[in-house]
Structures are given as structure tokens and as C-alpha cells.
Amino acid sequence: MAEVLDGSLHHLVDLLRISHIDLDGKRIEARMPQFGASLLQIRGVAAADDDMRAQFAEALCDGEADAGAAARHHGHLSREKGWNEHAKQINADAKIAKPVADPRPEEFARLFEAVHEGVYIGIIAHGRTQTLSANPYLKLMFGFAGETPEPEVRPFDVDQFIDPQAREAFVDRLAHDNSVTDYLLRLRRADRAPMWVEVTAHARAEGDALRIEALMRDVSERKRLEDQARDLYHQLLQAEKLAALGQTISGVAHELNNPLATILTWAERLAQRPADDQTRRGLAAILAESERAARIVRNLLTFARKRHTTRAMIDLNQVIRETLALRSYEQRLSNITIIDALASGLPNVFADPHQMQQVLLNLVINAEQAMLSTHGRGTLILRTWHDPEQDAVVLEVNDDGPGVPDDVQPKIFDPFFTTKEVGKGTGLGLTVAYAIVQEHGGRLTMKSQPGGASFFVELPVTGAGIQKPLPTPPDRAFAPPLTASGSSILVVEDEAALGAAVAEALADAGFVVDRAGDGMEALERVRARSYDLIVCDLKMPRLDGPSFYRELKYENAPMAQRILFVTGDVAGTDAERFLEESGCRWLAKPFRLKDLLRSTSELIQRQ
């Protein structure tokens, strides 16, 4: 009898689609190839309709000795040739084992108790559930105590679902297909904490409800790793886009800054001369529009991570309050309600307050436009908190607008991508914000659903990962230039129009000015005579600014310390290292005439 039971158990292991079971210290191995998935009849767990192995077992458990007849009854025997031999063996074992009275031996119950997947048997309907059986591992998965009565373990109750609509979809799918495989659900544990569960189940109708037999697997950790991998992929993809466009934009900004600097210089010079009212209005318009173009260029450089930042330990909540104060009037007129939930005792972060304000303004204005375009009013919620795990301060900007469509979300931070009407947006706002936050060692992310979107700004508290700022340019605040009449200046600029404008402006201020078109010509002039100051472009043909500096330092070190560089591209890898190493003063194009005159006078007076 022991041999008969041993042989039957070997075949039952085959039916279970597992490699082995351990019963009372004895290992029972599978002996047949595995042909598919099955659900075992354990404590009333019914087999899936399309699972032949379980159906063989079902026929035998009901006392039917002819397993081949059972297979033909289900219409599967002719499909699987391998099952013929398997059925014969089961049939022979069953005939020998017929005197065994219990069709479900104690070992089955042990396996039900020991299996490391949640097993659930119960009744489920649209508004109620009833648990018939739940194994210990299911209780463990959902955080119930081991002694909890099985009827109290109801994972498919309405309040166990994070999204009630997901439950409706799950029940409808079971009712329609009678089964699901690896169906992903967001459920709650006993302590109400969310978890991801994968469900493989078979169901059959019982009146207006469904009887369900399900295997349930906790996949929360897998989902967390998948989400991390997806976030990392998107970050890498965005970084690649920024790096690729950064080089191009840097060159474009340099080319734009030269004509802008020329326009600004001439406009300021002409504005200082007597003119009628109409001419003055025209000059004022030229100056204003040139400054506007310069701001666009600075945004491009910020996107390309090529703009100087001045950072300090700041209170992010204070920056938020000041930014909201700037928008309060427009928000009041537009029926935008602001709710702020700013955490007290928030750690300071090392950041540029002006750039953080720029990031916040971009997010707030985008949210306002989205809400107004949807229902003409809206509620904007701003929250801050400290994330101790990441050691970061987090800012959330949440709106009740239409949300961001799924097809738009992957492109939301792309340069020049916009969903606004032509002329309403440049497509750079979120891109610039993304670049600023990343440059500060943080992250800018977005989550959206119908009825609103949330943008999250994460900034490190410790300053780890923050990029080193560029050399400090002079303060753009106005200060009267110091007089240095009669001092000699060499202007080295390959752009003829800009070189002429700068030279004439310096001459108007009383300086004696010479010009050179590139570094080679400048070296020839310096060898011929000495200058009190050299105003030199950084990027030029033949011999550029850094090469000119090194040659001059080798030939005339004191004069090399009297160079003022002007450039529209301050942070390209070589240029950034050069400015840091040389310690030379520099002006960012397009510069205002007063800044140029002040810088030249200060450098000459310092000698």
C-alpha cells in the first residue's frame, strides 16, 4: 500500500506543476514533463476548465477509475499525445489504490497550508464578497494575524481597492472571461498600506455572483523596481536630449549675443545724445526689445546649463511666498484660489533663489493657464515637506485642471514642445525649469490623472551632487563708471560691427582705443606697444581668447593680468575651465554699455 500511495503522490506532483514536495522528511520528485499551468483541488479549490491535469485528478477523486474516459469527456485527449501514457499510468495506479477511502489525503491540506502564494476561494459580486477559504500565506501577504478567522480575510472587498473603478473592471473581466492571468491590482493591506498584487483566477457564475478560486502574489517590490528603472530611463533620455541640444544652443547663443551686444551698445550711445521725442521713443523700444531678446538667450543658456548662478542657503518656503505674492493680483482677477501647505521647520537648501523663483513661476503660470482654459477658474495647491530617506526638500505644485494626456507626458520636458496655441508659448518654460533643478542636483517630475496634475521639485538638503558654479561675473546693478581718461585699451573682437561699436563707445568715454580682429593680430599689437587694458572676445578664428592669454602670459605676464574677456558662451567645457584657472574677469554678452565702462575703469584703477 505504501508503494501505491508513493506512486500516486509522484503523479500528483506532476499534476501540480511543481518540482517536488517534502512530506514528513521525504522528498517526492516530479517524474513527467510539465505541460501547462493548473490549479489544484485543495479544500474545495476547483480546477481551471482548460487544465487537463487537474481534471484528471478531479475525475479520479470522484471515484472514476477510467482516466482516459474522463479526458475524452473534456475533449482534450487527441491534442496531447504525451497525456496517453500519463493517463494509463494514473489509471493503473488508481485501480490499485482504489481501497484508499480518502480522495483528498492529509498531504494535500499540508500543501495548501505551506504553499508560498496566497490562495483565495470565495464569492465575489459587485457590492459584496464572502471568503470560503484563505491559506496562511494570504493572511501574511495582507498583514492579518495567523489566528484571524478565514471569513474575515476579504481581499476583494470594495474598500480594499485603491481605485474602486479597478474593482468593477476586475469583476467584469471575470464575469466575461471566467478567468484572469497575472491580473495586476492595487489593493490595501490590513493596515491600509497600498500594495501591488498579481492575481491568476478562475471563476464561475453562481446566481448574480461569482465563485472565484485565485492565486495571489505580492509584487509590490517588483513594481517599485520597475518604476525606478522607468524613472531612471526617462532621466537618462532627458539628459541625452539636454546634452545634445546644449552644444547646439551654446553656439546659437554665441552667434545671437554678438548682434544683440552691438544693438544694445549703439542704442545706449544714441540714447545719450539729444533727440526729439519720437526718436527717443524709438530708441527706448530698441533697448526694451533687445533686452527681451537677451532674456530669451539667457533662458537658452540656462537650458544648456551655461549660465552663472549665485547660490546660498535659502528657505524654500520664503521663495514660494515671495513668488506667490508676485502672482497674487493676476490670480485674484482670474479667480484662481491658492492653498499653501508649507511645512514648518523645513531645512534650508543650497540654491539660487532667483532661479528657484523662475522654476516656480513656470510651474504656477502653466497650472493657471491649464485651469483657466478648462473651466475658467481653479484651485492651486502648493505643499512642501522634508523627505528624510532622500534627505531632500520636496515642493509639490498641484492644480485641478484637465491633467496631462498620456501621449504628451513623455514629451512634457522636451525643448520647444508646447501644447499652447501659436504665439502663446515657446516650449522652453518646463525645459528650463528641468535644467535648473537638475543643475542644483535635484529632480523635477510630474504625475497626472484626469482632474489635475502635480509637479514635484526635489532639492537635496546636503548639497550633494550640486554642480560647481561658474566664476562670478560683475554685478549688473548700476554704478557710475570710474574715470580713466587717456588710458589705452586694445579691443580684440572678430565681429567687425561689435568691435567698432565697443571701440567708439570707449573712445566717447575718453579712452585711447586700438582694435584687432583676432588673437594673432592682437599679439602683434601688444609686441609693438603696451596697453592699460585689453578687452578680448573668448571665441575667435585663428587664435582664440584662451590661446591669446597663454601666449601673452608667456611673453608679458603683467599685461596678461589686464585682460577683460567678453563672451556669449561662458560655460562650454574648455571655456569654463579656462575662466576658473585664469581668474580673469569677464562680461557676458550681450552686455550693457554702463557695465563695460564700469568694468574697464575698475580694472585700470586697480593697477
> DSSP alpha helices (H): ranges in 187-276?
220-271
pLDDT higher than threshold 90 for residue 520: yes
pLDDT higher than threshold 80 for residue 4: no
Show the CA angle centred on residue 94, arms to residues 89 and 100, nearest 5°: 150
Look up residue 531 and give its three cell numbers. Answer: 596697453
pLDDT of residue 525: 92
**Residue 27: strand pairing partners:** 22
Which of 40-49, 212-221, 434-443 bottoms out in mean pLDDT, i.e. has the lowest? 40-49
pLDDT of residue 246: 65
Q: What does the alpha-carbon distance between residue 348 and residue 354 come to, in Å, rounded to a whole number? A: 15
Q: What does the alpha-carbon distance between residue 1 and residue 139 come to, in Å, rounded to a whole number? A: 37
Map grid coordinates 567708439 to a residue: 504
* Residue 459 · residue 437 · CB < 8 Å: yes
How many percent of the chain have pLDDT more than 90?
Answer: 24
Task: Taking the CA atoms of 78, 82, 83 and 86 in sequence, report the sign of the dihedral they define.
Answer: positive
Q: Which residues 6+ apart lie within 8 Å of 249 measured at CB?
A: 300, 301, 303, 304
Confidence of residue 479 (pLDDT cuts 50, 70, 90): very low
State the pTM of this model: 0.43
Average pLDDT over every residue of 97-119:
67
Average pLDDT over every residue of 488-507:
90
Instruction: Kindly list the structural domains of the chain, giving each domain's residue range(s) and its CATH number in brackets, ordered by start.
Output: 2-110 (no CATH), 115-218 (3.30.450.20), 225-303 (1.10.287.130), 312-460 (3.30.565.10), 488-606 (3.40.50.2300)
Q: What does the alpha-carbon distance between residue 424 and residue 70 come to, in Å, rounded to a whole number? A: 72
pLDDT of residue 218: 93
**Three-class SS of residue 259?**
helix
pLDDT of residue 381: 93
The pLDDT tens digits of the residues spanning 279-331 come to 888 888 888 888 878 777 776 665 555 445 578 899 999 999 988 887 888 88
Q: What does the alpha-carbon distance between residue 584 and residue 198 come to, in Å, rounded to a whole number? A: 63
Q: What does the alpha-carbon distance between residue 414 and residue 240 come to, in Å, rounded to a whole number? A: 11
Confidence of residue 14 (pLDDT cuts 50, 70, 90): low
- Length reported for the chain: 607
pLDDT of residue 299: 65
Confidence of residue 184 (pLDDT cuts 50, 70, 90): very high
Tell which wins on pLDDT, 61 or 535. 535
pLDDT of residue 264: 86
pLDDT higher than threshold 60 for residue 154: yes
Average pLDDT over every residue of 250-256:
73
Q: Which residues 6+ apart lie within 8 Å of 160 measured at CB?
A: 154, 187, 188
Q: What does the alpha-carbon distance between residue 248 and residue 303 come to, in Å, rounded to a whole number? A: 11
The mean pLDDT of the chain is 76
Strand 512-516's sheet: what is its strand order? 512-516, 488-492, 533-537, 563-567, 585-588
Confidence of residue 238 (pLDDT cuts 50, 70, 90): low
The pLDDT tens digits of the residues spanning 380-414 come to 999 999 998 888 999 999 998 888 887 777 777 77
Tell which wins on pLDDT, 227 or 491. 491
